Amino acid sequence: MAHFFSDKAIENFKTVQTPFYYYNTELLKKTLQVATSEAKKYDYHIHYAVKANANQQILSIIREAGVGADCVSGGEIQAALKAGFSAEKIVFAGVGKADWEINLGLDENIFCFNAESIPELEVINELAAKKSKTAQIALRINPEVDAHTHHHITTGTKENKFGINLDQLDGVLNKLQTLASLKLIGIHFHIGSQLLETEPFFMLCKRTLEIQEQLAKRGISLENINFGGGLGIDYNDPDNHLIPDFKTYFEIFHKHFPVKSGQQVHFEPGRSIVGQCGALISKVLYVKEGSFKKFAVLDAGFTELIRPALYDAYHKIENLTSDEAEETYDVVGPICESSDCFGKALTLNKAHRGDIFALRSAGAYGEIMASQYNCRKLPEAYFI
Ligand SMILES: *Cc1c(COP(=O)(O)O)cnc(C)c1O
């Protein structure tokens, strides 16, 4: 199997100011090809979740694959439009949409607002009425399915701030009937992220069928069913699973959710599209001997990649410039916070000042979450 990093790429890394993001765009294109061809088997529609990575070059490649965009802010709608996504392929989700963001969506005639509460529906209705427009609405429903993922990235249980709870759905539908500038076109779910089991998706299908039946009793038929994102990636062994198993993923929905005629089914993958194609490249500043352990101190910190500090996330770390016998290190960054640690007691080829370390599987929720804490510069991005 071809290595993720060519020898030439590693030579180039030595000459460039670190830290920076490196994207393997060939892998991104292959991943998109697999995702879109598997979705096409069942006529499923894909909207890429822009929040995973909104780098303009990445967005352009994704747009070229023919998919739409799932946005969770006005800024993301602007980023998607700038990258050439057409407005009729943009959906807008989020629990806290500001008025200017709703107005932007209305002015651009985006496909759909995924709405989550009665007060939000009232505001979209009012703003749409002012423009003499009708806003297309999908209700984001909290299906009360536990995604069995980290509690910071599970979204579909009753305790979460996201979505309309099932016991409140009737009230929301009653309200919706009074809002003349809204048109209900479907329902939307997103149960969490980094899901590696199929069971929550199966449960989601089951729940969706129940909800569909409940709505049919009120004479509502749903044109659009949006199952959100959430398909996980292999952070432990990226090289053997560079492309997530989209085939099995879509098969679950095909098997357990029979599509009605005239109905469209949508998905919003983020991480599974971009996660494996990116790596954070960093240099070892110092190898520091502690009293009972060794630290490899990198020039990248949680300002460049916050996932380990934020969600205890694991990123595989490789020393690209050493093949000496392995030693054990805590790999840490330069930020003045104890949580600025990428991993403890990791086994790596012996490290020296100047070695190049790669933090793998950093294409999703990496660069886009970078901050300037400690007055640091935002990282550059380079492409194969
Ligand atoms: C974050 C998010 C996604 C993407 O989730 P992934 O786990 O990255 O696939 C999709 N839809 C919505 C509404 C989201 O908030």
Q: Which long-range contacts (CB under 8 A, 24 or more apart) does 11-18 make?
A: 13/281, 13/320, 13/356, 14/321, 14/356, 16/281, 16/382, 17/380, 18/281, 18/282, 18/283, 18/299, 18/300, 18/356
Q: Which atom of ligand 1 is nearest to the CA of 114?
A: 13
C-alpha 77/C-alpha 73 separation (Å) is: 6
Contact call for residues 110 and 90 (beta carbons, < 8 A): yes
Strand ranges inside 50-103, DSSP E: 68-71, 90-92
- Residues with Cβ within 8 Å of 222's Cβ and at least 6 positions away in sequence, in order, are 185, 186, 187, 212, 215, 263
Residue 26 has pLDDT above 50, yes or no: yes
Is 25-275 in CATH node 3.20.20.10?
Answer: yes
Share of the chain above pLDDT 90, in %: 93
Say what angle helices 118-130 and 99-108 make with each other, to 10 degrees.
Answer: 50
Tens of pLDDT along 99-127?
999 999 999 999 999 999 999 999 999 99
Tens of pLDDT along 310-350?
999 999 999 999 999 999 999 999 999 999 999 999 999 99
Q: How many residues does the chain have?
A: 384
Mean pLDDT over the full length of the chain: 95
What is the predicted pLDDT for the residue at 146?
78
What is the residue type of 6?
S
Mean pLDDT of 23-37: 97
What is the predicted pLDDT for the residue at 1?
40
Beta bridge partners of 355: none
Distance 49 CA to ligand 1 centre (A): 6
The residue whose CB lies within 8 Å of the most ligand 1 atoms, and thus the one to mutate among 116, 268, 276, is: 268
Per the CATH hierarchy, to which homologous superfamily does domain 276-383 belong?
Answer: Lyase, Ornithine Decarboxylase; Chain A, domain 1 (2.40.37.10)
CA 340 to chain centre: 22
Q: Which atom of ligand 1 is nearest to the CA of 269?
A: 9
C-alpha 36/C-alpha 254 separation (Å) is: 15
Distance 88 CA to ligand 1 centre (A): 19
The residue whose CB lies within 8 Å of the most ligand 1 atoms, and thus the one to mutate among 140, 190, 226, 369, is: 190
Tens of pLDDT along 204-251?
999 999 999 999 999 999 999 999 999 999 999 999 999 999 999 999
Residue 190 has pLDDT above 80, yes or no: yes
Share of the chain above pLDDT 70, in %: 97
Tens of pLDDT along 79-106?
999 999 999 999 999 999 999 999 999 9
C-alpha 221/C-alpha 119 separation (Å) is: 24
What is the predicted pLDDT for the residue at 148?
72
Q: Which atom of ligand 1 is nearest to the CA of 270?
A: 8
Token digits for 110? 């985006």
First-to-last alpha carbon distance for the chain, in angstroms, is 17
Domain extents in the chain: 25-275, 276-383
C-alpha 144/C-alpha 158 separation (Å) is: 6
C-alpha 265/C-alpha 259 separation (Å) is: 8
Q: At 194, phi and psi to the nearest 5?
A: 55, 50
DSSP designation for 83:
T
Mean pLDDT of 165-193: 96
CB hemisphere CA count around 119 (13 angstroms): 5
Tens of pLDDT along 289-305?
989 999 999 999 999 99
Contact call for residues 149 and 121 (beta carbons, < 8 A): no
Contact call for residues 315 and 342 (beta carbons, < 8 A): yes
Mean pLDDT of 259-283: 97
Q: What Rg do the C-alpha atoms of the chain give, in angstroms?
A: 22
Residue 384 has pLDDT above 90, yes or no: no
Tens of pLDDT along 142-167?
998 877 766 665 666 667 788 999 99
- Residue ranges around ligand 1 (CB below 6 Å): 49, 51-52, 70, 72, 93, 190, 193, 228-231, 268-272, 364
